[in-house]
Amino acid sequence: MADGETGELGRIGLQRADLFRQQCYINGKWVGEPTVDVRNPATRGVIGRIPDLGKSETEAAVAAAAAALPKWKAEPAAARAKILRKWNELMLKHQEDLARLMTAEQGKPLAEARGEIAYAGAFFEWFGEEAKRVYGDTIPAPASDRRIMVLKQPVGVVGAITPWNFPTAMITRKVGPGIAAGCTVVLKPSELTPYSALALAVLAEEAGLPPGVLNIITGDAEPIGRVLTEDPRIAKFTFTGSTPVGKKLAAQCMGTVKRVSLELGGNAPFLVFDDADLEAAAAGAIISKFRNTGQTCVCANRIYVQDGVYDAFAKLLAEKASNLVVGDGLAGVTTQGPLINAKALEKVEAHVADALGHGAKALTGAARDSHGGTFYQPTVLRDVAPDALLTREETFGPVAGLVRFKDETQALQFANNSRAGLAAYAFTQSLARSWRVSEGLEYGMVGMNTGLISTEVSPFGGVKESGVGREGSKYGIDEYLDLKAVFVQL
Ligand code: SIN
């Protein structure tokens, strides 16, 4: 169905129509025939189309990035920072358009999309400044007639694959440090949310980013992914997405021994102790669990509540969850959008059915929403078995399953019983417990008495099978820099 028939594009209501691009961006040119439909998950209407490019076009993008590299990495850090700063300013100037485009293709409520644009742009600002602080080292040499220095240099051409759940921020969190460090990039955004990525390229050009420094390609994931992981001209590969796909792509990278960073699936435990501020814990659980309709890697996935406050917390959380407003994100008042597709809905239903089949009780939700399609009611389940499917797998949907625990030792056992290690949360008013639990949780990030841990200033990433490397913070730029030791004989 064309947009004329569904009016999807009209409904977005862009102030700047040229931010909507249906072609890929390679070497500063818009290329490719738009042939693949992109749909709004809230309405299933077609927003537009994108090109279905493959191996040869990806190789052309890599060639463009390789050709642009020498000049770009020779630019002073301050010049790269200036472009990144301008890019962020343009994103904020067009925040409303970018947010509306994102909501239309991804489904998240408009308020969350606006927030994501600000969050995303902050990575440009931050890493532009960090580029100015890429200091090397001098090392005291073991002989008086020798000198040793460490230089930090850009790794080279970066291949990046980004997901649909944060269509803009997951790009800027990779492209920002990469470009700031002096690398050039070939990016494959999710085919479900390409327009946010392509709009960024429009603004990149306006900010003064030279051709070839950022190239964006859409199409079949397999051939594009193969070039990005196997082409020897690519020095570094970065991926955000599922753990099984990340493992496969990382293995492909080893044929040419690339630098790899991976931000993969989570299975975040959320612990509520007897001594917690229950109101704060319930508010934190709502933020962590229901942000983006439960479709974030850091969403609380398993909620463990201590015996003494179990009933009170369950009641409070169910009350808050039942106040969430389900609907089309563009409607404005919505706080819960649709799930991204039918497969996501099936997974949510399977997790709920498994929990209920093993003795859980639904306090609210546990059914498809009256909006139809992939809308699902915000759900709170109590008396979930400790080994229920939803405690073992990431649900990626609006389902809060509550499991009971008796003491701190058991809480940590439950929490750490996972191969995932991205984010964990705990609520307690005991200072001593907050330290013990923060240190005992085998996770890359811990939210202590908070459900929100995402900011450009802090390192984002996981341990175990949740990934390799960190994004954001002063550490994030290191993923795009190589160390070179220089020995001087006097
Ligand atoms: C993610 O879900 O991968 C990212 C979430 C965030 O940045 O907060």
Cβ of 422 less than 6 Å from ligand 1: no
Main-chain dihedrals φ then ψ at residue 63, nearest 5 degrees? -60, -40
Spatial separation of the C-alpha atoms in residues 258 and 255, rounded to whole Å: 8
pLDDT of the residue at 174:
98
Q: What is the pLDDT of residues 349-361, one digit of tens each?
A: 999 999 999 999 9
Spatial separation of the C-alpha atoms in residues 64 and 335, rounded to whole Å: 42
pLDDT of the residue at 332:
81
Is 297 a catalytic site residue? yes
Best of 165, 173, 340 to mutate for ligand 1, by most ligand atoms within 8 A of CB?
Answer: 165
Best of 102, 165, 166 to mutate for ligand 1, by most ligand atoms within 8 A of CB?
Answer: 166
Give the count of beta carbons closer than 10 Å to the beta carbon of residue 138.
10
Which residue's CA is minimally distant from atom 7 of ligand 1? 454
Cβ of 298 less than 6 Å from ligand 1: yes
In the predicted model, residues of the chain with pLDDT beneath 50 are 1-5
Is 253 a catalytic site residue? no
User: What is the Rg, in whole angstroms, of the alpha carbon atoms belonging to the chain?
Assistant: 23
Catalytic residue selected from 263, 394, 408, 465:
263
Give the nearest ligand 1 atom to 296 CA.
2
Which of 251, 306, 246, 253 has the alpha carbon at shortest distance from 275? 306
Tokens representing 337 are 């959008």
Best of 454, 457, 458, 470 to mutate for ligand 1, by most ligand atoms within 8 A of CB?
Answer: 454
Cβ of 240 less than 6 Å from ligand 1: yes
Residues sharing a CB contact under 8 Å with residue 32, sequence separation 6 or more, in sequence order: 23, 24, 50, 51, 52, 53, 57, 218
Residues sharing a CB contact under 8 Å with residue 101, sequence separation 6 or more, in sequence order: 12, 14, 19, 20, 195, 196, 199
Distance of CA 439 from the midpoint of ligand 1 (Å): 22
Give the count of beta carbons closer than 10 Å to the beta carbon of residue 140.
7
pLDDT of the residue at 6:
53
Spatial separation of the C-alpha atoms in residues 263 and 459, rounded to whole Å: 12
Catalytic residue selected from 297, 299, 471, 479:
297
Give the nearest ligand 1 atom to 292 CA.
2
Cβ of 239 less than 6 Å from ligand 1: no
Distance of CA 264 from the midpoint of ligand 1 (Å): 10
Which residue's CA is minimally distant from atom 3 of ligand 1? 297
Distance of CA 116 from the midpoint of ligand 1 (Å): 10
Distance of CA 308 from the midpoint of ligand 1 (Å): 32
Which residue's CA is minimally distant from atom 8 of ligand 1? 454
